[in-house]
């Protein structure tokens, strides 16, 4: 097993990333606070470069690989349901690396196009992220390229953890922090920061009901693989968490809850129409858990929800905004 990520790794990642990443806003929308009856803040990673938090971990990992690379352009292969592919594609463009990204065949068109625009070679394979990951590993092995995981890597987790450092500078003592969980890279990175700097903050991960592999793994006591996943939230549609991310989540996260696709879509609608924030489905998962009452909070509790991305297809956006029959 690779080494575990520490808060020192996250601090180092922040120094390495510098101004190459956007310091995203932390806002407290009045409409959402009134609706929930508690003080709520949103960490808006949909304003990050590439439109999602994944750029932080991707760039941190690529910069780390470059320090050990001596000759010729660095050749990379990765798998992603979309946002990690975008992060890796931009990181490769900025550093002169060559990148092939493998996405599931149903990956949102907006994410496929953005990856191509950043100069990546895009390959579509399989029905889910895990299918794409298996193919990408074979492709890397056969071509001699470096395979970069989407979440199960210390540098990926450390890069995502920089969100927590920013958050604590803007709101030094939150009571509860919620974030979506797919493979667990974001959850692990943020958890090591909070447990080191704010150990009393309650940390809650949110998964889609149709792709709750981390929750099932926690209940089993070891990382397991779901037979299939089915959710509108493609960004967190992962059949199995990583061994590294699972170990951190198991040790440091207080709870993992699930939300239905209907609750995710309703959260998207509320954020778009009442808060003027347009998240993708996975990006709305944490807010969905609050709106659906999946997390009990006392009056006056200071709650932060991470909005992880905003790369949403126009067709889905129209569906979300269509009035119910």
Cα separation, 51 vs 84, whole angstroms:
11
Strand order in the sheet with 40-44: 26-27, 40-44, 303-307, 176-180, 202-208, 255-259
Please tell me the predicted confidence (pLDDT) of residue 234.
92
Q: Are 115 and 84 in contact (CB under 8 A)?
A: no
Q: Which string of DSSP letters, residue by residue, matches 258-299?
A: EE-HHHHHHHHHHHHHHH-----TGGGHHHHHHHTT-S---T
Contacts of 316 (CB under 8 A, 6+ apart): 108, 232, 281
Please tell me the predicted confidence (pLDDT) of residue 254.
97
Please tell me the predicted confidence (pLDDT) of residue 2.
61
The structure tokens listed for 141 are 């092995």
Please tell me the predicted confidence (pLDDT) of residue 294.
96
Please tell me the predicted confidence (pLDDT) of residue 128.
86
Q: Could you report the average pLDDT of every consecutive run of 10 residues in the chain (325 residues)?
A: 84 97 98 96 98 97 85 88 93 95 91 93 92 94 93 96 98 97 97 97 98 98 95 94 96 97 97 96 98 92 97 86 69
CATH 3.40.50.1100 positions along the chain are 7-52+154-321, 54-148
Please tell me the predicted confidence (pLDDT) of residue 28.
98
What long-range pairs does 13-20 form, CB within 8 A, spacing at least 24? 13/56, 13/60, 13/155, 13/158, 13/159, 13/161, 13/162, 14/162, 14/165, 16/60, 16/63, 16/64, 17/56, 17/59, 17/60, 17/63, 17/159, 17/162, 20/59, 20/94
CATH of 54-148, one of 3.20.20.70, 3.40.640.10, 3.40.50.1100, 3.40.50.1000: 3.40.50.1100
Give residue for tokens 């470069």: 49
Q: What is the maximal distance between C-alpha atoms in the chain?
A: 61
Residue 43 DSSP label: E
Strand partners, 103: 124
Please tell me the predicted confidence (pLDDT) of residue 68.
76
Q: Are 214 and 181 in contact (CB under 8 A)?
A: yes
SS3 166: helix
Please tell me the predicted confidence (pLDDT) of residue 301.
94
Please tell me the predicted confidence (pLDDT) of residue 70.
63
Please tell me the predicted confidence (pLDDT) of residue 52.
97
Instruction: Give the HSE-up count for residue 130: Cα atoms under 13 Å, Cβ half-sphere.
Output: 18
pTM (2 d.p.): 0.94
Beta pairing, strands 40-44 & 26-27: antiparallel
Cα separation, 106 vs 177, whole angstroms:
31
Task: Report the CATH architecture of 7-52+154-321.
Answer: 3-Layer(aba) Sandwich (3.40)
Strand partners, 100: 77, 121
């Amino acid at each position: 097993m690779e080494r575990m990520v520490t808060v020192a790794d996250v601090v180092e990642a922040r120094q390495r990333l510098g101004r190459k990443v956007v310091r995203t806003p932390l806002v407290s929308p009045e409409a959402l606070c009134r609706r929930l009856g508690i003080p709520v803040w949103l960490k808006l990673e949909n304003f990050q470069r590439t439109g999602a938090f994944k750029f932080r971990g991707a760039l941190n990992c690529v910069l780390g690989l470059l320090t050990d690379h001596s000759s010729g352009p660095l050749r990379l292969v990765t798998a992603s349901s979309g946002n990690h592919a975008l992060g890796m594609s931009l990181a490769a463009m900025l550093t002169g690396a060559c990148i092939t990204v493998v996405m599931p065949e149903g990956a949102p068109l907006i994410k496929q196009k953005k990856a191509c625009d950043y100069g990546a070679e895009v390959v579509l394979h399989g029905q889910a992220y895990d299918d794409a990951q298996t193919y990408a590993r074979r492709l890397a092995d056969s071509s001699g390229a470096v395979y970069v995981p989407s979440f199960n890597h210390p540098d990926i987790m450390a890069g995502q953890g920089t969100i927590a450092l920013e958050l604590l500078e803007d709101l030094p003592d939150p009571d509860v922090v919620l974030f979506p969980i797919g493979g667990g890279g974001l959850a692990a990175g943020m958890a090591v920061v909070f447990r080191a700097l704010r150990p009393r903050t309650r940390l809650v991960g949110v998964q889609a009901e149709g792709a709750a592999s981390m929750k099932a793994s926690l209940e089993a006591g070891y990382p397991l693989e779901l037979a299939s996943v089915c959710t509108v939230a493609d960004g967190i549609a992962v059949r199995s968490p990583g061994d590294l991310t699972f170990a951190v989540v198991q040790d440091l996260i207080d709870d993992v809850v699930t939300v239905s696709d209907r609750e995710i879509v309703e959260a998207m609608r509320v954020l778009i129409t009442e808060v003027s924030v347009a998240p993708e489905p996975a990006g709305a998962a944490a807010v969905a858990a609050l709106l659906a009452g999946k997390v009990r909070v006392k009056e006056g509790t200071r709650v932060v929800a991470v909005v992880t991305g905003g790369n949403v297809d126009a067709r889905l956006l129209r569906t979300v905004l269509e009035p119910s029959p």
